[in-house]
């Protein structure tokens, strides 16, 4: 794991190493194993190191080669192939660093070198010959990279704080991001935005070229939503998944240091831990350390029975943390500084405990199951395929099986919910297309199989308004209860929020959220069954989540690696026929079948998962009631231009008096925003650990 930072002056000024050093020094936790800086004409790059692969220790970064300068935060998984391809012109030894390989690749293939890289990376190249800078980020954003670009300066860094340390970069709050803070679902539609105006994330799978007189951002890779992988038998699909998943895990075991894995008891983390364990046992390596959060006080969140089923065998050394025994605001000021502003992760403290425990045990690399749900897909859009095929019998059978397999206490799945999410929108689309045969078949099927009233269905899909004969419309209206409202009409009402209305209107929050819903959660019919899966994989939601975890782990000197964020595995999962993703009510059917013999059936066939929102709700009420009660006052003092105090008071009362866990996120949003703008917070000194790490990281060589 590394921290990178740098500057390129587009107006021709000479850059100084001290400038890049000062930028890097804002991230001392990324410099535990030393730091270097180098200047070349108008460019100055810096690199801070935490060694996690063997080749790191002998490398000097920034790496210079024939007029090129490279700084990188990188782990390449196709080193052997790259060395073979590059050695045709130059002899490259097997001990070359991954940063060095990027330098050789850039010299050989120029900007197209990024198309040949497999793994996790964020890097910058200064090309002295062409006077250009070139940056790129891996396919899913596992490694962070931000930038600022003006007519005179280009600055980049692993985090915004590094860029903001440059004197030419203005420190201005991005008002639009505050809307995102109160509505995190908007992050799904924007992978570039940050809390600071003018500072952007480089989106995953993108590259940026900056020259003195021009700049160009390109997307070097994207998923094909229409590609379908065709294999002769279902068993071959399961074997293929197992092969790709095992390789994704094995590639991320590359480290000479102590290795760990998070273990929640869910499918994703359990599959990673068991696959890593089996690989390490075959290789004769030390046991895999696992880290799990247990909750004695919140049974609905506790998954210890599933965790115990995984750790019962040999090859794993389990460790546990108990986040519900302490305040959930542990190190909140440090976390706010770490994330360069208020953040949406109300459950951050659970991961904070895990990462700090791993660091105390000397673990430098931690495997994590984020974001298996997105990569594999629950397969629920198989239901979209069934209704479009008018296969109502199979639609009803799958709906009943889903309801039987999943816990319905939180309405995770219900017959009515499934029907309204998939059947009614489809029939409404057929009404709009005037395909009355499909409408009548569907309406009849819902009456027979779901006992949903015929006339109610017609009303909710808008059939009465679309009937071609006015007399028929008038006659049916007399039968139908006029007071009933369709779900579409109910959903069109404007929502309330603690965010000030003028800010919401200025940035068109409601309209944009509707567009996000239509794109990422409920696209119009007819549509390809992979539409939502592809949209989610390509959205900004994943990268924002990965960065949240990456920064917290980096603070503790731990590198997070994500086997599910593997390009080869993701391409396969998207291309699998939809019928294999949902069968007999089991979501992620192909994943479960691929894990036969690896996972115990108690975990492999479980439905649902623990609800971690209960932990935050419980812990805030138990440990921070005074803090919660004061959020409105503090928001009125420090964030009044963003927060409606009357709406905030109502939200607080709902949370406190009605014991409404639904208000938890609103309270969190208000509290973190108010704390960020609190002058007391802005004036306090850095945390002790940060100062100590700064002393270690400031010894530039």
- As to burial, measured by CB atoms within 10 angstroms (0-12 exposed, 13-18 middle, 19+ buried), residue 73 is buried
Average pLDDT of the residues of the chain:
90
Other beta carbons less than 10 A from residue 192's beta carbon: 15
E-strand stretches of 386-493: none
Q: 155 pairs with which residues across the strands? A: 7, 148
Taken in order 583, 584, 587, 593, is the CA torsion positive or negative?
A: negative
Instruction: Please write the tens of the pLDDT for every residue from 204-243.
Output: 999 999 999 999 999 999 999 999 999 999 999 999 999 9
CA separation, residue 370 to residues 140, 347, 587, 597 (Å): 12, 14, 17, 23
Question: Where are the domain boundaries for CATH 3.40.50.620 in the chain?
Answer: 234-323+337-375+537-604
* Cis before 562 (ω within 30): no
CA distance linking residue 158 with residue 70, whole number of Å: 14
The tokens 């500072």 sit on which residue? Answer: 199
Q: Is 223 helix (H, G, I), strand (E, B) or coil?
A: coil
* Residues 653 and 297 sit within 8 Å (Cβ to Cβ): no
Quick check: 26 pLDDT over 80? Answer: yes
Local structure of residue 295 (DSSP, 8 states): -
522 vs 582: which has the higher pLDDT: 582
CA distance linking residue 182 with residue 342, whole number of Å: 10
621 vs 8: which has the higher pLDDT: 8
Tokens of 683: 């004036």
Say how many CA atoms lie within 13 Å of 695 toward its Cβ. 6
Closest CA to 147 of 199, 111, 86: 199
CA distance linking residue 123 with residue 136, whole number of Å: 6
% of the chain beyond a pLDDT of 70: 91
Identify the pLDDT of residue 468: 58
Q: What CATH homologous superfamily does 2-219 map to? A: Aminohydrolase, N-terminal nucleophile (Ntn) domain (3.60.20.10)
Identify the pLDDT of residue 496: 55
Give the rounded distance of the alpha carbon of 382 from its chain centre.
23
Quick check: 694 pLDDT over 50? Answer: no
Span 465-478, mean pLDDT? 48
Tokens of 34: 């030393």
CA separation, residue 540 to residues 191, 496, 520 (Å): 4, 25, 11
CA distance linking residue 199 with residue 55, whole number of Å: 32
* Residues 534 and 223 sit within 8 Å (Cβ to Cβ): yes
* Residues 393 and 409 sit within 8 Å (Cβ to Cβ): no
CA distance linking residue 491 with residue 325, whole number of Å: 40
658: CB partners within 8 A, 6+ apart: none
Instruction: Please write the tens of the pLDDT for every residue from 536-553.
Output: 999 999 999 999 999 999
* Residues 558 and 359 sit within 8 Å (Cβ to Cβ): yes
537: CB partners within 8 A, 6+ apart: 223, 374, 375, 570, 574
CA distance linking residue 224 with residue 574, whole number of Å: 8
Q: How confident is the model at residue 485 (pLDDT cuts 50, 70, 90)?
A: very low
CA distance linking residue 506 with residue 249, whole number of Å: 45
Tokens of 281: 């046992």
b/e map 669-699, b = 16+ CB within 10 Å: bbbbbbbbbbeeeeeeeeeeebeebbeebee
Q: Is 512 helix (H, G, I), strand (E, B) or coil?
A: helix
Quick check: 467 pLDDT over 80? Answer: no
Tokens of 355: 């990462």
Tokens of 22: 């000062």
H/E stretch holding 359 reads helix 348-360
Instruction: Please write the tens of the pLDDT for every residue from 87-127.
Output: 766 778 889 999 999 999 999 999 999 999 999 999 999 99
Quick check: 687 pLDDT over 60? Answer: no
Q: Is 389 helix (H, G, I), strand (E, B) or coil?
A: coil
H/E stretch holding 674 reads helix 664-677
H/E stretch holding 404 reads helix 392-405
Identify the pLDDT of residue 529: 84
CA distance linking residue 479 with residue 471, whole number of Å: 13
Instruction: Please write the tens of the pLDDT for every residue from 552-575.
Output: 999 999 999 999 999 999 999 999
Q: Is 90 helix (H, G, I), strand (E, B) or coil?
A: coil
Closest CA to 251 of 566, 554, 571, 2: 566
Identify the pLDDT of residue 701: 32
* Residues 536 and 140 sit within 8 Å (Cβ to Cβ): no
Say how many CA atoms lie within 13 Å of 395 toward its Cβ. 27
E-strand stretches of 432-496: none
Closest CA to 144 of 152, 154, 153, 135: 135
Closest CA to 698 of 30, 38, 56: 30
Quick check: 436 pLDDT over 80? Answer: yes
* Residues 106 and 68 sit within 8 Å (Cβ to Cβ): yes
Fold (topology level) of 234-323+337-375+537-604: Rossmann fold (3.40.50)
Question: Where are the domain boundaries for CATH 3.60.20.10 in the chain?
Answer: 2-219
Span 160-166, mean pLDDT? 98
């Amino acid at each position: 794991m590394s921290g990178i930072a740098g500057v390129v002056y587009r107006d021709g000024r000479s850059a100084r190493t001290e400038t890049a050093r000062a930028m890097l020094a804002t991230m001392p936790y990324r410099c535990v194993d030393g730091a270097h800086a180098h200047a070349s004409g108008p460019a100055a790059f810096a690199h801070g190191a935490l060694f996690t692969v063997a080749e790191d220790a002998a490398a000097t970064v920034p790496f210079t080669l024939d007029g090129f300068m490279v700084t990188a935060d990188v782990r390449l998984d196709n080193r052997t192939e790259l060395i073979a391809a590059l050695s045709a012109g130059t002899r490259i030894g097997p001990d070359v660093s991954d940063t060095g390989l990027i330098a050789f690749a850039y010299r050989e293939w120029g900007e197209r070198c990024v198309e040949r890289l497999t793994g996790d990376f964020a890097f910058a190249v200064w090309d002295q010959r062409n006077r250009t800078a070139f940056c790129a980020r891996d396919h899913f954003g596992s490694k962070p990279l931000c930038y600022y670009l003006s007519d005179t300066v280009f600055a980049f860094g692993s985090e915004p704080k590094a860029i903001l340390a440059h004197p030419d970069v203005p420190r201005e709050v991005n008002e639009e991001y505050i809307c995102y803070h109160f509505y995190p679902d908007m992050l799904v539609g924007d992978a570039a935005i940050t809390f600071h105006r003018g500072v952007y994330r480089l989106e995953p799978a993108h590259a940026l070229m900056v020259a003195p007189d021009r700049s160009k951002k390109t997307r070097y890779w994207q998923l094909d939503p229409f590609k379908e992988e065709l294999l002769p038998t279902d068993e071959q699909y399961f074997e293929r998944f197992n092969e790709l998943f095992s390789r994704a895990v094995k590639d991320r075991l590359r480290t000479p240091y102590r290795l760990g894995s998070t273990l929640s008891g869910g499918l994703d983390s359990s599959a990673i831990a068991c696959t890593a364990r089996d690989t390490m046992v075959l290789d004769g390596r030390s046991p895999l350390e696992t880290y799990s959060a247990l909750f004695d006080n919140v049974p609905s969140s506790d998954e210890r029975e599933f965790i115990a089923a995984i750790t019962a065998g040999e090859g794993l050394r389990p460790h546990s943390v108990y986040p519900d025994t302490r305040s959930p605001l542990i190190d909140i000021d440090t976390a706010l500084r770490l994330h360069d502003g208020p953040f949406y992760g109300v459950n951050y403290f659970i991961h904070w405990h895990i990462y700090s425990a791993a660091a105390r045990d000397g673990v430098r690399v931690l495997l994590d199951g984020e974001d298996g749900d997105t990569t594999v897909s629950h397969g629920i859009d198989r239901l979209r395929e069934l209704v479009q095929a008018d296969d109502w019998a199979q639609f009803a059978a799958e709906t009943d099986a889903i309801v039987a397999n999943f816990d319905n206490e939180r309405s995770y799945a219900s017959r009515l919910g499934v029907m309204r999410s998939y059947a009614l929108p489809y029939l409404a689309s057929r009404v709009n297309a005037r395909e009355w045969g499909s409408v009548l078949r569907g309406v009849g099927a819902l009456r027979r199989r779901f006992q949903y009233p015929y006339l109610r269905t017609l009303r909710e899909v808008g059939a009465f308004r679309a009937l071609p004969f006015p007399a028929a419309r008038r006659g049916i209206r007399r039968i139908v209860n006029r007071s009933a409202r369709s779900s579409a009409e109910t959903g069109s009402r404007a929502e309330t929020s603690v965010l000030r209305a003028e800010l919401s209107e200025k940035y068109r929050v409601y309209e944009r959220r509707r567009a996000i819903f239509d794109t990422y959660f409920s696209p119009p019919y007819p549509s390809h069954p992979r539409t939502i899966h592809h949209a989610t994989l390509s959205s900004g939601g994943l990268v924002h989540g990965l960065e949240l975890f990456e920064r917290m782990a980096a603070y503790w000197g731990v590198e997070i690696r994500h086997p599910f964020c593997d390009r080869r595995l993701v391409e396969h999962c998207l291309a699998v026929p939809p019928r294999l993703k949902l069968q007999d009510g089991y979501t992620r059917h192909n994943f479960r079948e691929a894990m036969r013999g690896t996972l115990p059936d108690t975990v492999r066939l479980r439905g649902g998962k623990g609800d971690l929102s209960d932990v935050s709700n419980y812990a805030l009420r138990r440990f921070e009631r005074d803090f919660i009660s004061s959020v409105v006052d503090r928001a009125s003092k420090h964030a009044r231009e963003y927060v409606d105090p009357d709406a905030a008071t109502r939200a607080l009362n709902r949370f406190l008096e009605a014991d409404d866990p639904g208000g938890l996120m609103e309270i969190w949003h208000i509290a973190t925003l108010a704390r960020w703008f609190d002058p007391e917070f802005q004036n306090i000194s850095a945390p002790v650990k940060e100062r100590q790490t700064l002393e270690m990281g400031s010894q530039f060589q």
